[in-house]
């Protein structure tokens, strides 16, 4: 990779990890779990050598982190809020 592209790719990955750590109370653990699952799922895919497979795993981690963060945020914040609104309906 060339200089500016490598900087952008590294910043995107570090930014997603920082977002997951800063939003730990709001579903950040889901983002890190999603990133790990995405990495592992893409690692076993097609690839001629380990360099290509690691690159596929990196892309899987970048795709899994936002999805995991959204799912974790819904389970942590959105789900209990919706349940409390359903259970406390006015007469």
> 3-22 and 28-43 helices cross at what angle (nearest 10)?
130
- Which one-letter DSSP state was computed for residue 20? H
> What is the pLDDT, as a whole number, of residue 21?
92
Query: 64 with 34: CB under 8 angstroms?
Result: yes
* CA 35/CA 27 separation, integer angstroms: 13
- The sign of the CA dihedral 56, 63, 30, 34 is negative
- From the first residue on, what is the mean pLDDT of each consecutive set of 10 residues in the chain (91 residues)? 86 92 91 93 82 88 93 91 86 66
């Amino acid at each position: 990779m060339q200089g500016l592209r490598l900087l952008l790719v590294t910043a995107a990955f570090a930014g997603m990890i920082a977002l997951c750590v800063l939003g730990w109370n709001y579903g950040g653990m889901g983002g890190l779990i999603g990133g790990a699952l995405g990495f592992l799922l893409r690692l076993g895919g097609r690839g001629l050598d380990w360099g290509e497979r690691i690159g596929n795993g990196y892309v899987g981690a970048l795709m899994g982190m936002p999805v995991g963060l959204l799912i974790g945020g819904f389970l942590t914040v959105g789900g209990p809020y919706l349940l409390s609104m359903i259970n406390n309906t006015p007469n």
